[in-house]
């Protein structure tokens, strides 16, 4: 591997955990009805109703993911390709196979990130539950408005939701997030995360199977 290639991989690896933390925040915002259903905006309510119905119809999915990462510190965009499976909102697997191999597993409490023979184990269950309580409780609407400015747009193909942090707690790590949903099934088709680190990641998601029967070891994680 070239020196520049090794630098790109190291930069990617160091930023993996913070980026996944940001994705968890977005996931919480999308999956809890108390956050969105209480909004008065008709379009936002319509989007949530579609997402809620999709969750009932499709409890698992698999597909491919392409991440394009840009930064002023990188000579050119870094493109990563992988395949994923998800079950509910607390089990997720992602295997990057290009340009380098990386294995990511999340199962309720534990996150595993494996590169080569090394596996990093992080317990994030408490953080996830804390976010669920904050954004899904009785004061969820007030908390959401306090922390984010949300805009929703509709076109012929789907919906776009942009979240811009308003408070320092989120502004320290994040400039904005944008999620695009397909109008037919309300599945996410792309996700953009623009971080304060200067890294912008755009994930293009292609769902190839819905409600597949997944082997028990699909989301197997190492627990210390």
pLDDT digits (tens, 9 = 90+) for 14-69: 344 334 433 443 343 344 333 443 344 678 777 777 877 777 888 899 999 999 99
How would residue 174 be classed by pLDDT, with cut points 50, 70 and 90?
A: very high
Question: Does residue 173 lie within any of the structural domains?
Answer: yes
Separation between Cα atoms, residue 150 and residue 165, nearest integer Å: 9
Q: How far is CA 58 from CA 25, 61, 87, 197, in A?
A: 21, 7, 9, 35
- pTM of the predicted model as reported, rounded to 2 decimal places: 0.74
| Residue numbers of the domain that contains 40 | 3-59+67-75+125-219
Question: Does residue 137 lie within any of the structural domains?
Answer: yes
Question: Does residue 88 lie within any of the structural domains?
Answer: no
Could you give the number of structural domains in the chain? 1
């Amino acid at each position: 591997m070239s020196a520049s290639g090794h630098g790109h991989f190291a930069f990617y690896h160091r930023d993996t955990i913070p980026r996944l933390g940001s994705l968890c925040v977005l996931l919480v915002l999308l999956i809890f009805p108390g956050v969105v259903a209480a909004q008065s905006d008709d379009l936002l309510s319509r989007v949530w109703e579609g997402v809620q119905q999709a969750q009932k119809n499709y409890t698992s999915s698999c597909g491919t993911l392409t991440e394009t990462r840009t930064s002023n510190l990188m000579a050119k965009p870094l493109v990563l390709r992988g395949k994923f499976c998800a079950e509910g909102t607390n089990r997720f697997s992602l295997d990057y196979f290009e340009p380098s191999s990386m294995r990511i597993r999340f199962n309720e409490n534990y996150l595993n990130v494996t590169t080569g023979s090394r596996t990093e184990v992080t317990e994030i269950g408490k953080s996830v539950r804390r976010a669920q309580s904050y954004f899904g409780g009785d004061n969820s609407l007030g908390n959401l408005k306090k922390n984010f400015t949300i805009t929703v747009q509709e076109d012929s193909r789907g919906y776009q939701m942009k979240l811009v942090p308003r408070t320092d707690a989120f502004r320290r790590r994040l400039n904005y997030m944008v999620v695009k949903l397909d109008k037919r099934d309300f599945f996410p088709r792309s996700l953009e995360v623009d971080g304060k680190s200067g890294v912008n990641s755009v994930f293009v998601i292609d769902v190839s199977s819905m409600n597949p029967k997944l082997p028990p070891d699909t989301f197997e994680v190492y627990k210390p």
